[in-house]
């Protein structure tokens, strides 16, 4: 039986591990994506970065699926009762959109690669099925979608971080201790 949200004081170990591992991978994937698109021409370094970027994307997708499944079966700690209702609603909305983006961004990148006629081979070992044939128009659209989704994610992550810092240092409600175990 799932505990009532008010009974849960902090996130579980697996939820915390998934949160920080996915966060780290997203930062690395975004950084590599930023760097690789600034490399002119088609070089071995650029190819290596594209491979790493795709591997990170596939890993984020798999971990995000695990995280969604974990979250569906384990309650999150309730927000402090003094938190205004609009902030609670905003937090739930932002978290929901973050989950959607953690799934949609890797999928858009995967479909973008497929439309470009490039098969994704996870870790250089496991070829993923190609679900879309080469299509230049679709490739251009999917590239735009992938980039826009990433910038949306970047903006939401910034909001997420700023809100957490506000709770920690302005409200002083201990919110960060729910996700950072050493703050307890």
pLDDT in tens, 36-77: 999 999 899 999 999 999 999 999 999 999 999 999 999 888
Structural domain span for residue 158: 8-183
Percent of the chain with pLDDT over 70: 95
Distance CA 67, CA 12 (A): 12
Residue 87 counted as domain residue: yes
Kindly tell me the burial class for residue 13, based on how many C-beta atoms sit within 10 Å of its own C-beta (0-12, 13-18, 19 or more): exposed
pLDDT for the residue numbered 184: 62
Greatest CA separation found in the chain?
57
- The pTM of the full predicted model, rounded to 2 decimals, is 0.91
Residue 3 counted as domain residue: no
Read off the CATH number of the domain in which 65 is found.
1.20.950
């Amino acid at each position: 039986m799932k505990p009532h949200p008010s009974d849960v004081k902090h996130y579980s170990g697996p939820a915390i591990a998934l949160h920080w591992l996915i966060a780290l991978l997203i930062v690395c994937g975004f950084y590599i994506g930023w760097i690789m698109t600034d490399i002119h021409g088609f070089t071995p370094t650029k190819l290596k970065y594209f491979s790493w970027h795709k591997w990170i994307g596939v890993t984020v997708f798999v971990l995000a699926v695990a995280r969604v499944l974990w979250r569906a079966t384990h309650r999150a700690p309730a927000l402090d009762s003094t938190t205004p209702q609009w902030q609670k609603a905003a937090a739930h909305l932002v978290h929901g959109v973050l989950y959607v983006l953690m799934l949609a961004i890797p999928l858009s990148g995967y479909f973008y690669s497929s439309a470009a006629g490039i098969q994704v081979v996870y870790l250089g070992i496991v070829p993923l099925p190609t679900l879309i044939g080469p299509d230049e128009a679709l490739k251009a659209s999917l590239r735009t979608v992938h980039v826009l989704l990433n910038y949306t994610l970047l903006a939401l992550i910034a909001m997420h971080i700023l809100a957490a810092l506000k709770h920690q240092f302005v409200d002083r409600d201990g919110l960060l201790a729910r996700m950072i175990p050493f703050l307890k």
